[in-house]
Amino acid sequence: MTLELIYTSAPRGLRAGASGYCTVAQTRGMREDLVAALERRSLFTHEPKGDSPIYYSYRILSLAGTNWRVLSRAKDAGLDFTGRRHYLVHHLVLETSEELTGWQPAEILLGWGGWRD
């Protein structure tokens, strides 16, 4: 089963009391250690001048005996609710035991139409 997590700046996150940069959407039932690990990896650096590129990454993440394939896309998201520049990171997560059904990670990163902006 593919899991998803979206991390960005928002007035209110999913967790009680969360605001600013936080998780705003995730697949129901995600392990808390997985959510925390994805949040720690949800970083983005804006370019000082001009448009920032879209960053893609693929990694294997090991947590408590489970290996996860993590495909991530990070991009500039304009101005947030406070008027400052912010970013959005969207993670797709699969257990490494799951097949990618003939797809390579790079094909998914560049070709999947479900990335959120």
User: Does residue 40 lie in a domain region?
Assistant: yes
Measured CA to CA, the distance from residue 78 to residue 20 in angstroms comes to 15
User: Does residue 25 lie in a domain region?
Assistant: yes
User: Does residue 117 lie in a domain region?
Assistant: no
Q: Assess whether pLDDT exceeds 90 at residue 7.
A: yes
* Predicted pLDDT of residue 100: 65
User: Does residue 116 lie in a domain region?
Assistant: no
Q: To the nearest whole number, what is the mean pLDDT of the chain?
A: 86
Q: Which residues form the domain of 38? A: 3-111
User: Does residue 11 lie in a domain region?
Assistant: yes
**Per-residue pLDDT tens over the stretch 11-55:** 888 888 887 888 999 999 999 999 999 999 998 888 877 688 889
User: Does residue 69 lie in a domain region?
Assistant: yes
Q: Provide the 3-class DSSP secondary structure of residue 24.
A: strand
**Per-residue pLDDT tens over the stretch 44-100:** 888 877 688 889 999 999 999 888 999 999 998 888 888 888 899 999 998 877 666
Helix (DSSP H) and strand (DSSP E) numbers for the chain: 2, 5
Q: Report the domain count for the chain.
A: 1
